[in-house]
Structure 1
Amino acid sequence: MENCPKNLKRWWWRNCRLSICRDLLDRVKFFFHTLHLNYIYTSCCSNKYTEKIVEIIRRNVATFTKSRYSCADKDSRTRVYQRRFWILAVFSFLAWFQCVQWGLWGPISESVGAAYEGWGSETVAMMSNWGTITFALFVVPMCWLMDTKGLRVGVITCGVLVASATVARIIPFMTDSVEFFTVMCHIGAILNGIAGTLIMSAPPKIAADWFPPGERTTATATSQVLNQLGMAGSYLQPFFVHAPTGDVTKNQIRSDIKRLLFIYAVVGVTVLIAILVYFPSKPPVPPSVTSAVERLNFKATFKKIIRNRDVLLVTVAYSICLAIPAAWLSVLNYSLIDLGMHQDDAMWVGLTAVLVQGVVGLLVGRMTDLVYGYIKVSLLAFMITSLCCFYWFYLLTMGSITVTKWQIFCSVVIGLGFNFANAPLFIEFAVESAYPCPEVYVGGLLTGTMNFIGLIFLFIFLIPDLGYKWVTYVLLSSSSLSLIPLLIVREEYSRSNIDRSVGTDLPTIPGASEKGTLHQLSIQ
């Protein structure tokens, strides 16, 4: 500047100092408007004040859109990335594989019972039960881990646990001890069950962090459907493990099981490597306005949820509706034995049911994104359809109508298919009602309660000489009772109302385009 002409110095001082002052003034205005918005949001975070929050945001937006720092390009404020499909694909495959390991022994229960002494219905049910036991014990710390440390740390932890579970099951093959094999299978079931806490709780968080409002329910449904399709993978296992017929020896069955478990170990380690290679916690720029809003901490979330009548009602309805059918599917072959269907026939019933669950779940998730505001009506329709099918199966079990294979197929497949279609809708409903609570805590609450009820259901199998007809009574009762809390819950869409009202007008902070982030409203 010292060598510049004097007139250039005067021009720079006259013009650039005004620009600098305008910059500083805009920054100060933005700071004080943000403080005002934070105060309003913190004091009015209850659902019934959502309209007031939206009005305040609009008023602040109108002020800031005139500012030079208000970005005219939507993509600089919210943006979606193609890599979101990689995130969803990797997590969904991990969810699928974890469910395969959870339902590992049920579809081949006759084979494993013939190959290993002491593997009766109690042992097989306990392997599935470990998933619900560990869920009840670890859901809170695991959800806290993901909320505080981020999505990447949580998913890596899940990958390590699932891979360790698969490796633990192949260690006993270095010996011939049946007892050692049984113990290591229990350990593997425990490790896999701990991983399930986040596998079942994280889908709404992944959807909120990576997907725009028009894709959130679809993303949640996709990972949940893949997790449920893990049951289809487990029902394919009889293709690889011989049934205990007259010409099949114990050693042949053991050899089949050994080969299958080695394949699972390779797949588990491969999935872990894929997660380690690339799985970020969040995109550089959030996909929606509410994705940029900082969520409540654990203590504030707990206080808000226990005072929120609608969230509690949705949790009760979700748990009662889905817990029993989900647990029943893992031991379906025991109920079908009384109807004259053995392992191979039960495999096709279970496989078809899971595939129908996947198709219906994806369709329902996509339709919910496209047709906004009809979650409660959809839930009631699907639950009533499922109830009618379970009543049909009840009549077959009681001998009230003639038992035929096509009736067993239709009653089980349609009933379970429409029952599972409720899962993504319930989770989306609860997240909307609980906003701005973190999605992972809401998902953990719903799935934790569901697993607790499933735990009680599977423990009943440990009672000797009880038979299996009681299952249909419980199935029918749970489907009926779950309608009551849903009928009295209020339908609110706190999160979606904000996104759809002000999604494209929320301003960015100075320098947001360089940092690639939206301003996060701090909620204490």
Structure 2
Amino acid sequence: MSQEATLVLKKCKLMEAESKYQQSDEATPQNFKTYKLRFWILGIFSFLAFFQCLQWNLWGPLSASVDAAFDGFGSDTVAMIANWGTITYLIFSYHLVRIMDKNGIRVAVLIIAVFVTVGTVLRAGALLINSDILFKVMCHIGAIVNGAVGPIVMISPPVIAALWFPPNERTTATGCGQLFNLLGNAGSYLQPLIVRSPKHASSEEIRSDIARLLYIYVGVSLVVLVSVAVYFPAKPPTPPSVSSTKERIDVMGSAARLVRNSDYRLTVISMVFCISVPAAWYTVLNFSLGEIGIDQDEAMGIGFLSVSCSTFFGILVTRITDMLYGHLKVSLIFLMAFDIAFFYWFFLLTWGCIEVTQWQVYVSIIFGMSLNGATIPLFTELAVEFAYPCSELVVAGFFTFGMNVIGTVFLFLFLIPNIGYDWITYTLLATSSVSIVLIVFVEENYRRTSEDKQARVKGQATSDVTSS
């Protein structure tokens, strides 16, 4: 066969392959690319998410110290300051989702950095005027400003993962963004290393410690703000996968479509009940532990270890999930079942059914929280799969909105006079039990991943025809 005939034959085969798979050159895997820059994007966002959560849970681990140093900082004030984060989420979530949808992830992350910085400056600046009332007011305002960007912090991880990461890294990337936000709770439990407790210092010494801590936070927030402003691109030059190139349904269209998706609804409700109460409990953990004889200093260790283990165990679970994809439902049921078991153990301790010992408190809380935290990225990934090609902003927006509704109700209960803290363990068990029942009825459907896999197969087939 002549060379010209051979070329014609190859051309015909290539055209046939293109027609069969309906795949353009721009959508073939050879034209997708991942950048090392994705780790900077994820890293700076994860730290910002960590720091924003730390500011949200600023006073819970320091409840005894701040109450001794400033008038009017009882459990109701600490809970209300934390509650501003959930209240502002409900107020600003829709508007911030629209801003993100219109302006992209760079503008959204820059807004986070600006608001977090303003919150730290307001609190620290109030200390320059020796007024307990002004300081308390500025703490509330700072919490409102910091909490207002909570929606962006919570819904950005799946967006960043979809824009910058290939399919075999997406769950891990989503998990890092979400779990480092959770890790901010652990950071807040290290604050007693700087701020002494009333056992070891006078009120004036504690005030000085708090001032030092708040000035440090101002410096950190300014560094992060400058870093984001200098370099945080909106998207990579070349997309990492075929699903990242597909245009998403707009915000209102996505919302309408998701409301009709029964599997998505069940997943969201299950996640809301599973995650919201334990997440809000972190901010007032000191009070529950105080009921069984654990003081602020010891609560610091429990809080720090539980959140740290939760974060790193969650990242491990997400990496395994990326490697062995297709078992999200089974993984969630497994994690939630053991999560309930450890919360039940803590329930027995708080109600005096089992003699309280230090190791049992540590194990029940640390393992319960670790298993609970590990479900967050798995729930998110399952919801995104069900919803594709709906906007990840709306997908994450629905379940984070629901989580904040439940969290707001939970924290408002602390304002009821003489309610005590025994009801907390009942709530933990009840919400976790409801969530595992709901997820059982979900039918798995990996739409986004299936499209990426089909694109790889089609692209490989086209490449084989070309090389032949």
Query: Which TM class, normalised by the smaller chain length?
Result: over 0.9
Q: What is the aligned partner in structure 1 of residue 382 from structure 2?
A: 429
Cα distance change, pair 420–71 in 1 and its aligned pair in 2 (3 A): closer
Instruction: Give the Cα separation in 2 of the matches to 1:369 and 1:72.
Output: 22
Q: What is the aligned partner in structure 2 of residue 11 from structure 1?
A: none
Partner SS, residue 421 of structure 1: helix
AA of the residue aligned to 1:438:
S
Q: Say if 2:242 is the partner of 1:299.
A: no
Q: What is the aligned partner in structure 2 of residue 215 from structure 1?
A: 169
Instruction: Give the Cα separation in 1 of the matches to 2:439 and 2:85.
Output: 27
Q: What is the aligned partner in structure 2 of residue 450 from structure 1?
A: 403
AA of the residue aligned to 1:194:
A
Q: What is the aligned partner in structure 2 of residue 413 from structure 1?
A: 366
Which of 144, 169, 192 matches 2:146?
192
Instruction: Give the Cα separation in 2 of the matches to 1:370 and 1:264.
Output: 38
Q: What is the aligned partner in structure 1 of residue 110 from structure 2?
A: 156
Q: What is the aligned partner in structure 2 of residue 41 from structure 1?
A: none
Q: Give 1 or 2 for the bigger CA radius of gyration.
A: 1
Assess if the C-alpha contact under 8 Å between 1:146 and 1:154 holds in 2: yes
Instruction: Give the Cα separation in 2 of the matches to 1:318 and 1:290.
Output: 24
Q: Say if 2:41 is the partner of 1:87.
A: yes
Q: Say if 2:201 is the partner of 1:235.
A: no
Instruction: Give the Cα separation in 2 of the matches to 1:130 and 1:465.
Output: 22
TM-fit CA distance, 1:371: 0.2
Partner SS, residue 153 of structure 2: helix
Matches within 5 A, 1:468-507: 468-503=421-456, 505=458
The TM-score normalised by the length of structure 2 is 0.93
Which of 101, 110, 116 matches 2:55?
101
AA of the residue aligned to 1:501:
Q
Q: What is the aligned partner in structure 1 of residue 179 from structure 2?
A: 225
Assess if the C-alpha contact under 8 Å between 1:173 and 1:181 holds in 2: yes
AA of the residue aligned to 2:36:
Q
Partner SS, residue 149 of structure 2: helix
TM-fit CA distance, 1:485: 1.3
User: Unpaired runs of 5+ in structure 1?
Assistant: 1-29, 31-57, 508-524
Which of 269, 272, 285 matches 1:319?
272
Which of 205, 211, 224 matches 1:258?
211
Which of 313, 321, 328 matches 2:281?
328
AA of the residue aligned to 1:330:
T
TM-fit CA distance, 1:73: 7.6
Q: What is the aligned partner in structure 1 of residue 74 from structure 2?
A: 120
Output one character per residue of 1:472-518: Cα deviation in whole Å (capped at 9) or x when no partner: 111111111111210111111010000011136469xxxxxxxxxxx
Cα distance change, pair 360–242 in 1 and its aligned pair in 2 (3 A): same
Q: Say if 2:298 is the partner of 1:345.
A: yes
Partner SS, residue 339 of structure 1: coil
Instruction: Give the Cα separation in 2 of the matches to 1:449 and 1:506.
Output: 40
Instruction: Give the Cα separation in 1 of the matches to 2:27 and 2:124.
Output: 58
Which of 373, 393, 418 matches 2:326?
373
Assess if the C-alpha contact under 8 Å between 1:228 and 1:358 holds in 2: yes
The TM-score normalised by the length of structure 1 is 0.83
Q: What is the aligned partner in structure 2 of residue 204 from structure 1?
A: 158
Which stretch has the larger CA shift, 171-180 or 100-109?
171-180
Considering fraction of residues, name the structure with more helix.
2
Assess if the C-alpha contact under 8 Å between 1:236 and 1:351 holds in 2: yes
Output one character per residue of 1:189-234: Cα deviation in whole Å (capped at 9) or x when no partner: 0111011111111100000000000000000011112111111110
Assess if the C-alpha contact under 8 Å between 1:61 and 1:505 holds in 2: no
Partner SS, residue 503 of structure 1: helix
Moved over 3 A (4+): 58-65, 70-75, 503-507
TM-fit CA distance, 1:71: 6.6
TM-fit CA distance, 1:444: 1.3
Instruction: Give the Cα separation in 1 of the matches to 2:123 and 2:222.
Output: 13
AA of the residue aligned to 1:377:
V
Instruction: Give the Cα separation in 2 of the matches to 1:143 and 1:399.
Output: 46
Instruction: Give the Cα separation in 2 of the matches to 1:63 and 1:310.
Output: 30
Output one character per residue of 1:318-351: Cα deviation in whole Å (capped at 9) or x when no partner: 0000001111111111001111100011111111
Assess if the C-alpha contact under 8 Å between 1:79 and 1:287 holds in 2: yes
Q: Say if 2:135 is the partner of 1:181.
A: yes
Assess if the C-alpha contact under 8 Å between 1:143 and 1:441 holds in 2: yes
User: Unpaired runs of 5+ in structure 2?
Assistant: 1-14, 461-468
Assess if the C-alpha contact under 8 Å between 1:110 and 1:343 holds in 2: yes
Q: What is the aligned partner in structure 2 of residue 401 from structure 1?
A: 354
TM-fit CA distance, 1:62: 3.7
AA of the residue aligned to 2:314:
G
Q: What is the aligned partner in structure 1 of residue 12 from structure 2?
A: none
Instruction: Give the Cα separation in 2 of the matches to 1:84 and 1:255.
Output: 40
Cα distance change, pair 169–483 in 1 and its aligned pair in 2 (3 A): same
Cα distance change, pair 71–393 in 1 and its aligned pair in 2 (3 A): closer
Aligned-residue CA RMSD in angstroms?
Answer: 1.6
Partner SS, residue 473 of structure 1: helix
TM-fit CA distance, 1:174: 2.1
Cα distance change, pair 175–395 in 1 and its aligned pair in 2 (3 A): same
TM-fit CA distance, 1:64: 5.7
Assess if the C-alpha contact under 8 Å between 1:236 and 1:347 holds in 2: yes
Output one character per residue of 1:353-381: Cα deviation in whole Å (capped at 9) or x when no partner: 01110111001110110001000000000
AA of the residue aligned to 1:451:
N
Cα distance change, pair 387–263 in 1 and its aligned pair in 2 (3 A): same
Instruction: Give the Cα separation in 2 of the matches to 1:63 and 1:188.
Output: 54
